Amino acid sequence: MMHIKTQLEMHEYRATAGELSKRALRLAGSLAKPGVSTKSIDLAVEAFIRQNAAKPGFKGYGGFPASICASVNDEVVHGIPSPGVILKSGDILSVDVGANKAGWAGDNAWTFYVGEVAPEVKGLCECTRDCLKAAIEAAVPGNRLGDVGYAVQSLAENNGYGVVRDYTGHGVGHVMHEDPNVPNYGKKGRGVLLQVGMMIAIEPMLTLGTSQTHVRENGWTVVTDDGLPAAHFENTIGITKDGPVVLTQDEKGAWCSMQGGGEAKA
């Protein structure tokens, strides 16, 4: 079911769950350094969220066992943090995190460079981030979800990257997943009409090789079939009469540094 929000509700979302989710994401990025385990990042982020009168939205969601998704290299999404996964220079770490606060469900994601990352992998990450920007710009009232998906797909494929189709963005509100689904592919002028008051999470997932994926035996972690890297960026936005507004942002804005370990602790 699709819920239309008021301007005031969007403002509330941004001031509570949206802002805290971005701060949690920045904290995760600041910790993404060689020698650090993904579980230690998960624990630090969970503590931070709880210290701010909120709950980690992912913990227990559908049975997910942690507060962040930590997906390394060929892991696309839903990676489970582990003390045995130690980051090393050259890795990329995609962190997806949501804080639930004041009745709202935050959701945002970013891919961070761990140490020195190869230029071709940086290119993948930069293009995925640019796809997110392009998709947000296309999310204006009167456009359709096909225009948003087209923005991602065309930019990605023109640059030679794969677009993961098995997972999509989604409506966001009092719960993390509402209608509609927001695919990262599409045709201009097709699909659900974008209306003032919609809140959606846009989350392109691009791959260096094949866009085909499968789920590991743990039942969660999505990996590329060919073992090549994938990148994932996500913001939750609100559609207003003046255009799209990113709601997962803090005093530093809606975008994070991509270099892990490069920001002061949140």
Q: State in angstroms the smallest separation of the CB of 55 from Mg ion.
A: 17
CB-nearer residue toward Mg ion: 108 or 224: 108
In this chain, which stretch among 26-34, 55-63, 201-209, 250-258 interacts with Mg ion, using CB under 5 A? 201-209
Kindly state whether residue 97 participates in binding Mg ion, applying the rule CB under 5 A.
no
Q: State in angstroms the smallest separation of the CB of 175 from Mg ion.
A: 12
Residue with tokens 């990257």: 161
DSSP 8-class letter at 191? S
CB-nearer residue toward Mg ion: 36 or 136: 136
Alpha carbon of residue 132 to chain centroid = 9
Q: State in angstroms the smallest separation of the CB of 96 from Mg ion.
A: 7
Site for Mg ion in 217-256 (CB under 5 A): none
Q: State in angstroms the smallest separation of the CB of 170 from Mg ion.
A: 6
CB-nearer residue toward Mg ion: 153 or 184: 184
Kindly state whether residue 178 participates in binding Mg ion, applying the rule CB under 5 A.
no
The angle at the Cα of 40, spanning 39 to 46, to the nearest 5 degrees, equals: 85
What mask, x for binding Mg ion by CB under 5 A, covers residues 101 to 140? ------x---------------------------------
**DSSP track, 176-190:** S-EEEEE-S---TT-
Phi, psi of 193 (to 5 degrees): -70, 135
What is the distance between the alpha carbons of residues 232 and 221, in angstroms, rounded to a whole number? 14
Helix, strand, coil share (%) of the chain residues, nearest 5: 30, 25, 45
E strands, 183-258, are 199-202, 205-207, 213-215, 222-224, 230-232, 235-240, 243-246
CB-nearer residue toward Mg ion: 14 or 36: 14
Kindly state whether residue 201 participates in binding Mg ion, applying the rule CB under 5 A.
yes
Binding interface with Mg ion (CB under 5 A) = 107, 201
